[in-house]
Structure 1
Amino acid sequence: MQVIGFCRFSYPATGGFQVEHDDTATRESYLYASARMDERFRHFEAICLPGLKAQTDPDFTFLVLVGTSLPAPYLGRLEALLADFPQARIVARDAGPHRATCQNVINEARNMAQPCLQFRHDDDDAIAVDFVETLREAALDLSALRAKHRLMGLDWNRGYVARPDAQGICAEEGVTPFWGVAQAMAVKPGVKHSIMNFGHNKILNFMPTVSFTDRAMYVRGHNDHNDSRQKKHVKPVALPRLDAAGEALFRERFAIDCDQVRGIFA
């Protein structure tokens, strides 16, 4: 069964952001600001990519959507980070409607005659190294339910919220349903809707969903440039620093090396 992961890397969409801008030029100016882009690359390298590259089931495609306006130095930096990640494919598109563009990019990578498993992923989040393997197993376990529905949601709701810095990682485990990370959708053959057609916390309004809470499956990045943290009155989250045992767990479960984190964020 085909598995597709999808990541927007500072793509200047119309819609799709909690903080809106007056026009595309203003949005691109915000997205491509050097301080913001430097932070996005640090999180992408230290938090997002390690677990993806270390998947126990390597049979998946990871689409990275960028704007055609992405400055060349950033595109080159992105290409370098993905050079040893054969499942990754950079897809450049002109600025356009968020949901329609994301849907088209995913469907262009699909075999529409076959069922598909899709997961969304932000560039500052991480999934466990066995996420793709677990997703595929769950989909097979739920074959009877999938056969009855065009779309079905799958959500692994236990994980960590984490903030990396020059001293390592501050993180805390919790259970948050439909948070948009370690969240997937099973799509029947011929169905054009993609996981990006639905708000991550509203997907249960449109299809049957199954949740799993047995083990930590994600790291939700927490940083100053989160789209969800740009609005007023957003309070900071106090997170305890990982001890040696916590750092070992992050290395084993998510392939996140806190020594590498310290070096990248130094």
Structure 2
Amino acid sequence: MQIIGFCRFSYPAEGGFQVEHASVEDRIAYLYAPERLEERFRHFEAICLPGLMAQTDPDFTFVILVGDAMPDAARVRLEALVKGMPQARIVARPPGPHRAVCQEALNDARDYVAAPCLQFRHDDDDAVAVDFVETLRQAAADVAPLLARHRLVAFDWHDGYVARPGAHGLAAEEVHHPYWGVAQAVAVQGGVRQSIMNFGHQKLPRFMPTLTFSGRAMYVRGHNDHNDSRQKAHVKPVALPRLDATGEARFRDLFAIDADHVRRIFSG
């Protein structure tokens, strides 16, 4: 079954953000501000890409949605980062309704819309375990009769880490957080054009059967000053402990995230 990952990299959608802007132009200016773009690139390189590039099952497609007005230098930098990732497809779109544009981009990535597929959402500052695709494919096979009876079925792994990368390495702690939008997927029946991006990640159980898994860390949720969810007033900072050598080794093993590489990137 085809597996498609989907990442919005500073795409100026109409809707889809917790932070509101007066106009599309204001949103573009916010998203492409040099300081913000620099942080997104550092997280993308240090946190997001390593685990995806090290997947034990490399048979998947990774769609990266960008705006067609992305600065040329940023587009070149993005292309360079994914040059060694054959699964990556950069897709540029003009600003448009968030759910409609994401749905179109996902359906365009399907080999055959008439065939079923698995879709997972992935933010540019998050990570999944190096065996996430393999685990997802096996989970879908385990419940094949359920998938045959329902247009959409969700999969959600609850356990992982929240982490803040920086010049001193990684600060992180384990968390249990259902339906957080990372290490989350939807099985889509053949002929169904709705996608995982048609639904809020916390609202999936309202619209489809869901399968939940716990007992092992499957994700890293990136924590940084430019998280969309952290732009509202009265959001409290999160204190995270610095990983020791054992914790850094665990991140390398589970997510292919190298703390030394993190230090190099965030010291620049």
Q: TM-score range by the shorter chain?
A: over 0.9
Q: 2-side partners of 1:148 and 1:164: how far apart?
A: 42
AA at the equivalent of 1:107: N
Deviations 1:210-259 (A, max 9, x none): 00002100000000000000000000011111010000000000000000
SS at match of 2:185: strand
Partner SS for 1:139:
helix
2:186 match: secondary structure:
strand
Give the number of equivalent residue pairs: 266
Q: Please give the alpha-carbon distance, in whole angstroms, between the structure 2 residues aligned to 1:20 and 1:6.
A: 23
Separation in 2, partners of 1:180, 1:155: 8
Correspondence for 2:144? 143
CA offsets 1:149-196 (integer angstroms, 9 cap, x no match):
000000001000000010100000011000000000000000000000
Secondary structure of the residue aligned to 2:182 is: coil
SS at 2:235 equivalent: coil
Partner in structure 2 of residue 22 of structure 1: 22
1:61 matched to 2:66? The reply is: no
String of CA shifts for 1:10-35, please: whole Å, max 9, x gaps: 00000000001111110000000000
SS of equivalent residue, structure 1 residue 215: coil
Task: Give the corresponding residue for 2:216.
Answer: 215
* Partners of 1:245 and 1:35 in 2: CA distance: 32
Structure 2 unaligned segments of length 5 or more: list them. Answer: none
Q: Secondary structure at the match of 1:15?
A: coil
SS state at 1:51 partner: helix
Kindly provide the amino acid, as one letter, of the partner of residue 266 in structure 2: F
C-alpha displacement of 1:113? 1.6
The corresponding residue for 2:115 is 114
SS in 2 for 1:70: coil
SS in 1 for 2:171: strand
Q: Percent identity?
A: 70
Which residue does the alignment assign to 1:165?
A: 166
User: How far apart, in 2, do the equivalents of 1:245 and 1:77 lie?
Assistant: 33
Question: Residue 102 of structure 1 corresponds to which residue in structure 2?
Answer: 102
Structure 1 spans left out of the alignment, 5+ residues: none
2:43 is the alignment partner of 1:43: yes
Question: 2: CA distance between counterparts of 1:17 and 1:29?
Answer: 14
Aligned residue in 2 for 1:241: 242
Measure the CA separation in 2 of the matches of 1:54 and 1:226: 25
The match for 2:12 is: 12
TM-score (ref. length: structure 1)? 1.00
- Cα deviation, residue 4, structure 1: 0.1
Q: Distance in 2 between matches of 1:20 and 1:104?
A: 23
User: Quick one: distance in 2 between partners of 1:142 and 1:112?
Assistant: 21
CA RMSD of aligned residues (A): 0.4
Partner of 2:202, secondary structure, is coil
In the TM superposition, what whole-angstrom CA distance separates every residue of 1:89-124 from its partner, at most 9, and x where no partner exists? 000000000000000000011111211000000000
- Which runs of at least 4 in structure 1 moved beyond 2 Å after TM superposition? none
